């Protein structure tokens, strides 16, 4: 009956009737009512069974070689399995988890989760300032996120929230390579300044200390060079 109730609640939510649960379980409605006289009693039994299952999983992960991986694996299971059970999501969305009707099961769950958290913190996989209440609050938020995301895998926003439990790492330096500028020298002197002699008469050129470097030794040679250039342009 609890298995049938779990499926019915997961598909139809808390509005499912006890008669529908009986039909799915293949028993008479009177059988369901004898075990669960009210829908609240049925919800309590379903919740308690679910919490006890998660508590058992936490106990099995307690001695895992990698405490950090075990802790985050457990967190993922809590969030994704709650998403598959719409009734559980409805119960935890307002008052937190667990509610008063399953306090004993919740206390066992808290103790098991606290052990996983402490082991992960001792390994350095979880921030040392994280407390059990922080993790429970994150569960409630991540379950709400998961409900908005199709599929059974952990939603990326929920995964980002879980990552906030990890120790802060220093930001990696930017290693993006820049395109190097092509080699070149825009200040290379022109060819005429590479020689110390006049190209007309080969006499030494006096280099002034300021201004543009001289190309010819005298105005006369400059005039000759001008006439030669003009002659070569004339057809």
Is 195 or 152 the better-scoring residue by pLDDT? 152
Structure tokens at 103: 């306090």
Q: Per-residue pLDDT for 66 more than 60? A: yes
Give ∠ CA 94-44-106 in degrees, rounded to 5. 70
What b/e string do you get for 87-108 counting C-beta neighbours within 10 Å, with b at 16 or more? bbbebbeeeebbeebbeebbeb
Domain boundaries, the chain: 1-37, 50-163, 195-233
Nearby residues of 227 by Cβ (< 8 Å), 6 or more positions away: none
Q: Per-residue pLDDT for 13 more than 60? A: yes
How much is the pLDDT for 190?
47
Is 159 or 81 the better-scoring residue by pLDDT? 159
How much is the pLDDT for 219?
80
How much is the pLDDT for 182?
56
* Domain at 1-37: CATH code: 1.10.10
Is 138 or 213 the better-scoring residue by pLDDT? 138
How much is the pLDDT for 77?
92
Cβ atoms of residues 21 and 8 within 8 Å: yes
Structure tokens at 175: 């290693």
Comparing 5-14, 75-84, 88-97, 189-198, the range with the smallest average pLDDT is: 88-97
Banded model confidence at residue 122, pLDDT cuts 50, 70, 90: very high
Cα atoms in the Cβ-side hemisphere of radius 13 Å centred on 85: 22
Banded model confidence at residue 94, pLDDT cuts 50, 70, 90: very low
């Amino acid at each position: 009956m609890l298995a049938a109730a779990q499926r019915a609640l997961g598909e139809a939510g808390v509005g499912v009737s006890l008669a529908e649960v009986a039909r799915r379980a293949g028993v008479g409605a009177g059988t369901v009512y004898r075990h669960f006289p009210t829908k609240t009693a049925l919800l309590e039994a379903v919740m308690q069974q679910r919490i006890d299952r998660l508590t058992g999983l936490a106990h099995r992960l307690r001695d895992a070689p990698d405490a950090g991986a075990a802790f985050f694996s457990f967190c993922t299971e809590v969030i994704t399995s709650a998403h598959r059970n719409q009734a559980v999501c409805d119960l935890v969305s307002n008052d937190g988890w667990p509610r008063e009707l399953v306090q004993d099961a919740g206390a066992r769950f808290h103790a098991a989760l606290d052990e996983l958290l402490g082991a992960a913190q001792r390994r350095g996989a979880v921030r040392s300032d994280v407390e059990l209440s922080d993790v429970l609050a994150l569960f409630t938020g991540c379950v709400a996120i998961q409900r908005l995301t199709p599929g059974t895998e952990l939603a990326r926003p929920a995964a980002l929230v879980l990552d906030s439990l990890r120790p802060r790492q220093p930001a990696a330096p930017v290693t993006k390579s820049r395109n190097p500028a092509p080699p070149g020298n825009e200040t290379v002197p022109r060819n005429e300044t590479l020689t110390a002699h006049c190209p007309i008469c080969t006499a030494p050129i006096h280099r002034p200390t300021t201004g543009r470097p001289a190309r010819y030794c005298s105005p006369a040679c400059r005039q000759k060079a001008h006439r030669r250039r003009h002659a070569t342009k004339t057809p």
